[in-house]
Chains A and B, each alone.
Chain A
Amino acid sequence: MESATVTDSSALARPSSLLASGAGWRRRAKDRLMTVLIAGAFALAMIPLISLVYEVTKRGIPGLSLDFFTEDARGVVGEGGGASHAIVGTLVITGVAALISVPIGLMGAIYLNEYGQGRLRRALTFFVDVMTGIPSIVAGLFAYALFELFLGPGIRLGVMGSAALSVLMIPIVIRSAEEVLKIVPNHLREAAYALGTPKWKTIVKVVLPTAFAGLVTGVMIAIARIVGETAPLLVTTGVVDSMNSDPFHGRMQNLAVYAYNEYRSPGVFKQAAYDKAWAAALTLIAIVMLLNVAARLVYRRYKTEIR
């Protein structure tokens, strides 16, 4: 049987000697070109990020002061006042939102991954996917409408903002928790079952501890996502100048809306107001950065090597 021989200058032709394969300069040049293109694309992608961080830092620093962190804006008409009420507001609203979203999201993920079957599971996954795409203003209007039903029109509460943010946060928590739970190998569950452990106990005592680091990271990333949402908070928590840390009574300020407000209605002392807006933006970025760093630290400390 004849075997086909490759005789022309196709890629399979054997070079007359290995040293003669210096003709591979074409390939090396192409390699170098691609490397340059890819590095260039990366640099291009980094430009907006670096420029953003630079601008915010440059413009935000003049607005930072001790007052910024300790004073609120109550009764202030001049240059003074601070954003402590906004900072506290952001922390409270985000905290309550996390308190609502984490248990619900975690249990949803546990259901989808450990118990769900067939049509119900597919339907739930579909709805979770849809929820991840809800525009934030819609979430805000939903929360407003819900509370208006019970408490009358014009109601503004910190907890309404938390409810709106939860609508945005729950699908993120479910998605990332589900991914982490999937990674827990099945043979660990089987080992627990073989010892005669009921299913719920296997989940609580074996699956969740194994997935713990990933779950915490997922939650922190979800929090970082919603901490800067402005639109839903505009319609739910309102704008206010004094400190309010009670989510169940009265309007509550937060950093995102504060920045928007200072920019929109700067009053007489425009520059001071703009400075404060930038400072608020800088604070928000700092909060997100701290959350990400904390997430990494927790992950490194608690991750389990699964052989």
Chain B
Amino acid sequence: MLGAATKRSAAEEGKPTMSERPAGVTSTGPATKAGRGAKTIEARDVNLFYGDFHAVEDVTMTIAPNKVTALIGSSGCGKTTFLRSLNRMHELTPGARVEGHVSLDGEDVYAKGVDPVEVRRLIGMVFQQPNPFPTMSIYDNVAAGLNLNSRRVPKAQKDAVVERSLRGANLWEEVKDRLDKPGSGLSGGQQQRLCIARAIAVEPEVLLMDEPCSALDPLATLAIEDLIAELKNRYTIVIVTHNMQQAARASDVTAFFNLDATGKPGHLVEVGATNEIFTNPTEKQTEDYVSGRFG
């Protein structure tokens, strides 16, 4: 039933599981021209709360650079909540609370004195529903990261950044002649690629994607997955997906989250190389989920 999980890249070395990988180990991926590279994220004993409700329990995992890590699991098991805690978006919900450690390249992201705005510049996010800014043109949308972050960038440089980001998102050829048209005039798949271009324009070290393809048709999904395969050479990518086949296709490492029962906190069941998780999982829950016995 499982079949061979097809993957784009060859079998990977280094299978980070919950027991291996001592905390505090850092590694950096190949640096881009701009000098930043893909970075490692370490999560240790992360517990997430909405008010008194314990949403996610004791997550410890390492997210390796230049790899795509997929978070899978059934609805409501805390994957998106955990994802949002990585770039300090979780705390934007009133009453939300984070306990535990999350570090980017060895630095604690939740330390006192760390500006969450800076964290979010380094860890970018793409959302489930494409959300280009409706009052801005395509050009301004991509440059929004620069404009909104009060970086005075000369126009020539901004043009270069916009072109580079749109090329990086495989959108340049389609929109290069209408950069001043509103961002909302594109199709769903194009809008999502625009949001990806916007996210990579600020050159983050990590890119978080919350079910980026769930609102898209299969062709657009394929385009995004191809894009992710290219992007991982420059960034660390974490993607939350409901779609197991997508996780099998597009990721190098898979982490499976689960709930014991509704109302209980979600927890990380198993994390490992995607090949292993789908063909030879350690935990029974994982095997039940990936073989479709529940989900």
Contact = CB atoms under 8 A, between A and B. Distances in A.
A210 B202 CA distance: 23
Contacts of B195: 191
B134 A304 contact: yes
Nearest to A210: B135
A197 B92 contact: no
Nearest to A187: B131
Interface stretch (B14-22, B39-47, B71-79, B115-123): B115-123
B184 A307 contact: yes
Given A201-B150, A305-B184, A307-B184, A194 B89 contact: yes
A198 B125 contact: no
Interface stretch (B53-61, B140-148, B170-178, B232-240): B140-148
A195 interface: yes
A307 B202 contact: no
B127 A187 contact: yes
B145 A187 contact: no
B36 to A, nearest CB: 13
Given A190-B92, A196-B117, A196-B121, A202 B134 contact: no
A196 B92 CA distance: 13
B26 interface: no
B190 interface: no
Contacts of A194: 87, 89, 120, 124-127, 199
A206 B121 CA distance: 17
Q: How large is the interface on B (under 10, 10 to 19, 20 to 34, 35 or more residues)?
A: 20 to 34
Contacts of B67: none
B267 interface: no
Contact of A117 (B94, B117, B145, B147): B94
A187 B133 CA distance: 10
Interface in A166-217: 185, 187-188, 190-198, 201-202, 205-206, 209-210, 212
A304 B135 CA distance: 6
A212 B135 CA distance: 10
A307 B183 CA distance: 11
Contacts of A190: 89, 92, 127, 131
A151 interface: no
B89 A196 contact: no
Contacts of A187: 127, 129, 131
B282 interface: no
Contacts of B131: 185, 187-188, 190-191
A11 interface: no
A306 interface: yes
B120 A305 contact: no
B120 A205 contact: no
Contacts of A209: 135
Nearest to A194: B125
A144 B45 CA distance: 64
A198 B134 contact: no
B144 A192 contact: yes
Nearest to A205: B148
A277 to B, nearest CB: 46
A201 B133 CA distance: 14
B120 A193 contact: yes
Contacts of B125: 194
Given A190-B92, A305-B134, A196 B127 contact: no
Contacts of B122: 196
B149 interface: yes
A197 B134 contact: no
Contacts of B127: 187, 190-191, 194
Nearest to A212: B135
B198 interface: yes
Contacts of A197: 117, 120, 148-149
A222 to B, nearest CB: 23
Contacts of B150: 201
15 contacts: A190-B127, A191-B131, A191-B195, A194-B89, A194-B199, A195-B121, A196-B120, A197-B120, A201-B148, A205-B147, A206-B148, A210-B133, A212-B135, A304-B134, A307-B134
Interface of B: 87, 89, 92, 94, 117-122, 124-127, 129, 131-135, 144-145, 147-150, 184, 195, 198-199, 202
Interface of A: 117, 185, 187-188, 190-198, 201-202, 205-206, 209-210, 212, 304-307
Shortest beta-carbon contacts, A-B, top 5:
A196-B121, A194-B125, A196-B120, A197-B148, A209-B135
Given A188-B131, A197-B120, 5 more contacts: A191-B133, A194-B124, A194-B199, A195-B145, A195-B148
